[in-house]
Amino acid sequence: MKNIVRLICCILLFSGCSSDSDNNTASSPNLIIKFKFDPTQERLNNLGQPATIPLGNAAQSPNFQRMSANYIEFAPNELTALGLGEIIYEGPETNAGGAMAIDFQNSRFAGDDEVFLTIPLSQVASGNYQWVRVSLAYQEGNIDILVSGNDITGTLGSFVGYNNYITSFDLNGSTISVNDDVLQGFWAFEALGFTTQGQAPEGATTVPNPLFATSPIPQGSCVVTGEFANGLIITGNETQDVEVTLSFSVNNSFEWTEVNADGKYEPEAGEQVVDMGLRGLIPMVSN
């Protein structure tokens, strides 16, 4: 019996030592990318300059629930051409619809203050990065509309990527079937169980790029560019996670032409959506 007791004690002691050893093993640090949607952040135009709402139009700040990005790149300086920086994420693409397009069904999504991407820092090249580029693909949230004199809230799903292959998607419990490619500017809307869809004019989606003069982006893409306030330095010797929050301006980002000058979106009156693009990007670093 004494031998059995000794054996059990040894087993427990050995197990305890193994557990302590495992718990003390340091994990490798990660790069963590989070999304933030800010309705108070400055509203910018395609050149990254402050922008007001054009005469004859009106706009509102959607309450976004989630977004998807298809591409994230860190750029060392303003002369770094698109694609020549450190590409940390490329989303899935497919030619199932005929042309190469973002594969919506297999895309990543994140909500406000949620993690979009986590990768080992060892996969990121050492360097001092001043800019970040993010190619956005999809945004979904609530907007207010006026229907038959009644103010109601509906759910808007807008596709801002260069080209998007969609089979179907759920919009607040309603299924929207597409089974085809759709270009930038395609949108669908749901309210009170009813749905509608449409296409914003070509080139109407705002894509702020403060580096327009030195590092232009292709027409029809949605590569939003933002500058780190103090740069992002990756040494390769990090022992803790590095967190980058991508703060997107949603300040009056949903814009339409006014028929009735009341500041309310009224589809029944023939008011047309002209812009669904985000209005700026500020990347923020924390350790």
Residue 83 lies in a domain: yes
Domain extent for 247:
31-286
Q: Checking DSSP bridges between strand 186-191 and strand 127-147, what pairing results, if any?
A: unpaired
Residue 19 lies in a domain: no
Mean pLDDT, the chain, whole residue set: 90
Residue 16 lies in a domain: no
Tell me which of 5-9, 28-32, 201-205, 257-261 is least confident.
5-9
- Res 203: pLDDT: 79
Residue 179 lies in a domain: yes
pTM of the model: 0.88
Q: 204's torsion region: left (phi>0), alpha (psi -120 to 50) or beta?
A: alpha
Residue 25 lies in a domain: no
Q: Which one-letter amino acid corresponds to residue 36? A: K
CA-to-CA distance for 269 and 149, rounded, in angstroms?
11
Which residue would you say has higher pLDDT here, 216 or 3? Answer: 216
CA-to-CA distance for 266 and 260, rounded, in angstroms?
8
How many independent structural domains does the chain possess? 1
pLDDT average, residue stretch 221-237: 95
Residue 9 lies in a domain: no
Q: Looking at the predicted structure, is the pLDDT value of residue 217 above 60?
A: yes
pLDDT average, residue stretch 247-258: 96
Which residue would you say has higher pLDDT here, 1 or 30? Answer: 30
Q: Looking at the predicted structure, is the pLDDT value of residue 221 above 60?
A: yes
Short-list 211, 217, 175, 199, CA closest to 273: 199
Q: Looking at the predicted structure, is the pLDDT value of residue 174 above 60?
A: yes
pLDDT average, residue stretch 115-143: 97
Which residue would you say has higher pLDDT here, 27 or 2? Answer: 27
CA-to-CA distance for 113 and 99, rounded, in angstroms?
34
Confidence of residue 187 (pLDDT cuts 50, 70, 90): very high
Q: For residue 213, with 0-12 CB atoms within 10 Å meaning exposed, 13-18 middle and 19 or more buried, which class applies?
A: exposed
Q: Looking at the predicted structure, is the pLDDT value of residue 20 above 70?
A: no
Confidence of residue 166 (pLDDT cuts 50, 70, 90): very high
Which residue would you say has higher pLDDT here, 250 or 24? Answer: 250
> Pseudo-torsion of CA 283, 91, 157, 175, nearest 10°?
-150
Confidence of residue 18 (pLDDT cuts 50, 70, 90): very low
Q: For the chain, first and last CA: distance in Å?
A: 55
pLDDT average, residue stretch 167-196: 93
Residue 270 lies in a domain: yes
pLDDT average, residue stretch 261-271: 92
- Res 126: pLDDT: 97
Structure tokens at 237: 């010797």
Confidence of residue 151 (pLDDT cuts 50, 70, 90): very high
- Res 263: pLDDT: 94
Residue 195 lies in a domain: yes
Q: pLDDT tens for residues 60-78?
A: 999 999 999 999 999 999 9
